[in-house]
Amino acid sequence: FEHRDSLGTAKNRHRQGAIVSTPQVPLVNALTIDVEDYFQVSAFAPYIQRADWDARECRVERNVGRILDMLAAQKTHATFFTLGWIAQRYPHLVRRIADEGHEVASHGYGHERVSDLTPEAFAHDIRTAKHLLEDIAGVAVTGYRAPSFSIGQGNLWALDVLQQEGYRYSSSIYPIQHDHYGMPDAPRFAHRIRPDLIEVPPTTLRMFNRNLPSSGGGYFRLFPYALSRWMLRQVNQNDQQPAIFYFHPWEIDAAQPRVAGIDARTRFRHYVNIPRMEQRLQRLLQDFQWGRMDHIFLNQVQGGVQRV
């Protein structure tokens, strides 16, 4: 698939099925929030038993409320990939997300990595979450994001299951090299990966013959804000593609309970620069235009099926 760069030179930057962007029109990027609480993070799984979740102080309600207030002040809409576990306990929060014009999407039910599930268990998880979110919000749920971006080369069957369960897009394959996830050879931009399913990967910047993570999460807290902003602008201006940014409600919560006994790497990754996160998000909302995943990507992917 071809488009023209800022110099007007046609380049084969993307594989068949990529988004077509118009350079003259300012790009609207996708702002996404993975609605889960601090104790549900995959890295904490060895330290916090799933059976103990209900005994933990749940802070997701107040944190999502702060995010919604922030978005309302900036007149910005976003996509909230929400756990069924959270929706079941805080249905009014899911209704507020929908009522304020945001997209309600699925993060599965219990934050189980797809790589840890059988196809049957995965189908049950995403079906349960979809029906629960739709019943509560009163809207169709068309999008899914795998916990910890846990769809990759070893479990691409999950894409077929997502299509069978009625999802229209996924944002689950991160085209980077990482110790816990990633599929670095996957396409960098939105593409039709099955006849009725679009994959919208988190944003990367191609530099030094590799894909650099440029879409939020812990990297956004770790990198200087100016670097993150520059990377996103490069994707908008040079690749002429909308960016996908993600973060979690617990990332704005400096007062969250500290999990004891975790290893040094996990401690650093989880807590680094959390006190600065909300201020950085405020700047991000002002520096770029943002919108919902479904509004930006559904019905805009051209070309045939790009199977991986």
Q: Render pLDDT for 189-217 as a digit per residue (tens, 0 to 9).
A: 999 999 999 999 999 999 999 999 999 99
Using CA atoms of 172, 205, 34, 94 in order, give the dihedral in degrees to the nearest 10.
-100
Give the residue from 222, 210, 224 showing the smallest Cα distance to 178. 210
Residue 7 has pLDDT above 60, yes or no: no
Beta-strand ranges (E) seen in 107-258 are 143-144, 169-170, 191-194, 197-199, 204-207, 210-213, 244-247
Q: Which of 119, 115, 107 is nearest to 145 (CA)?
A: 107
Write down the pLDDT at residue 106.
98
Question: What is the mean pLDDT of the segment spanning 227-243?
Answer: 96
CA 39 to centroid of chain Cα atoms: 18
pLDDT bin (cut points 50, 70, 90) of residue 253 is very high
Integer Cα distance of 8 and 5 in angstroms: 5
What mean pLDDT is predicted for residues 72-96? 98
- List b or e across 193-221, with b for residues whose CB sees 16 or more CB atoms inside 10 angstroms: bbeebbbbbbbbbbeeeebebbbbbbbbb
Q: Is the pLDDT of residue 113 over 90?
A: yes
User: Could you identify the residue written with the tokens 């409600």?
Assistant: 249
Residue 48: is its pLDDT beyond 80? yes
**Chain-wide mean pLDDT for the chain?**
90
User: Alpha helices, DSSP H only, in the chain?
Assistant: 60-73, 84-89, 91-99, 119-137, 157-164, 217-222, 225-234, 264-271, 274-287, 293-297
Q: How far apart are CA 182 and CA 214, in angstroms?
A: 14
The predicted pLDDT at position 13 comes to 39
CA distances from 74 to 16, 95, 284 (A): 35, 20, 11
Asked if the model's pLDDT at residue 16 lies above 60, the reply is no
pLDDT at 193: 97
Q: Mean pLDDT across the stretch 150-157?
A: 95
* Rounded-to-integer distance, Cα 106 and Cα 132, Å: 10
Q: Of 253, 235, 252, 255, which Cα lies nearest the Cα of 244?
A: 235
Summarize the confidence of residues 240-246 as an average pLDDT.
97
Q: Stretch 167-185: mean pLDDT, rounded?
A: 87
Average pLDDT over residues 175-187: 82
Are 198 and 170 a contacting pair, CB within 8 Å?
Answer: yes
Q: Give residue 177's pLDDT band: very low, low, confident or very high (50, 70, 90).
A: confident
Kindly report the number of other CB atoms within 10 A of residue 29's CB atom. 22
